[in-house]
Amino acid sequence: MSLLTVGTVAFDDIETPFGRAERVVGGAATYISLAASYFTPEVQVVSVIGDDFPTETLDDLRRRGINLEGIQVKHGEKSFFWAGRYHNNLNDRDTLDTQLNVLADFDPVLPEVYTKADFVMLGNLTPDVQHRVLDQLQHKPRLVALDTMNFWMNVALDSLMEVLKRIDILTINDEEARQLTGQHSLVNAAEAIFTMGPRFLVIKKGEHGALLFSPDNVFFAPALPLAEVFDPTGAGDTFAGGFMGYLASTGDLSFDNMKRAVIFGSAMASFCVERFSIERLTNLSRPEIDQRVQRFADLVHFTR
């Protein structure tokens, strides 16, 4: 089934305790679409870039079968740019710079084939753009997920609250869940988020895994203990891409299948953090992914 994704396609400057990378390819939609492309063949991207964005990267995405018809190229303008610095624990980071550039006045236009999408992943970007994408859909998708971050809570909270009413699943990190709800306990935060619109919630906790909540159930997925975590940038988006890609490939929206999707998403995120930028996500194989999922199963298996 088709998966429509919206988000930034961007340049990042990244500083980790292990090194620096300048003007590397990033962006929520880049990570989401690459991760999802390992599960479902019809991945469609809506985004905007300047003419500074490398054509080689667009070719890499196309080679993975990703449909880029919905990416607008603004001539003479610059792509979205973000700079971040990670703390020693790699779970916390400071945003050093966010330059919206082409994103500032982005008006998404969905190609006809995108308007019939079965699954929709609204990646992290302006809530107004997330609204305008939903407005153009011709029928209600089977599942709409949304990811956002503190930046948009700070600058566009009203629009974000409106778009939350239109979605099924929110994916967010633990600190952002606390900021959005004013609740410290994640269980209470989940309850508060269910009153805002979503029926499901994924709370990402970096190296401490992820929690999947529905009003009646909760599931915990660990993150894989890795010897080498190089760059956590994009892990949340890669998780979301793997999660939604897996759901789109199976079409099964039971809670049990969502648990599997959380593990597939976590497995994809574990690859992402092993290298800077999208390097690790461009040439994986399905057997490699399945082996990693097996490591998750082994990690939490016990008898009593």
**Interacting residue ranges for ligand AMP, rule: CB under 6 A:** 8, 10, 12, 26-28, 82, 98, 124-125, 149, 151, 233-237
Nearer to ligand AMP, 23 or 142 (CB): 23
Q: Which helix H or strand E contains 166, and what residues bound it? A: none
DSSP structure string for 223-236: PPP-S-----TTHH
Nearer to ligand AMP, 71 or 125 (CB): 125
User: Please, which residues have CB within 8 angstroms of residue 127's CB and are 6 or more apart in sequence?
Assistant: 148, 152, 156, 159, 160, 162, 163
Q: How far is the CB of 112 from ligand AMP (least distance, A)?
A: 26
Closest residue to ligand AMP in the complex (CB): 26
Q: How far is the CB of 298 from ligand AMP (least distance, A)?
A: 26
Nearer to ligand AMP, 191 or 279 (CB): 279
Q: How far is the CB of 2 from ligand AMP (least distance, A)?
A: 23
CA dihedral 186, 190, 191, 197 (to 10 degrees): 160
Nearer to ligand AMP, 149 or 161 (CB): 149
Burial class for 98, CB neighbours closer than 10 Å (0-12, 13-18, 19+): middle
Burial class for 303, CB neighbours closer than 10 Å (0-12, 13-18, 19+): exposed
Q: How far is the CB of 125 from ligand AMP (least distance, A)?
A: 5
Nearer to ligand AMP, 50 or 236 (CB): 236
Q: How far apart are CA 235 and CA 282, in angstroms?
A: 14
Q: How far is the CB of 103 from ligand AMP (least distance, A)?
A: 7
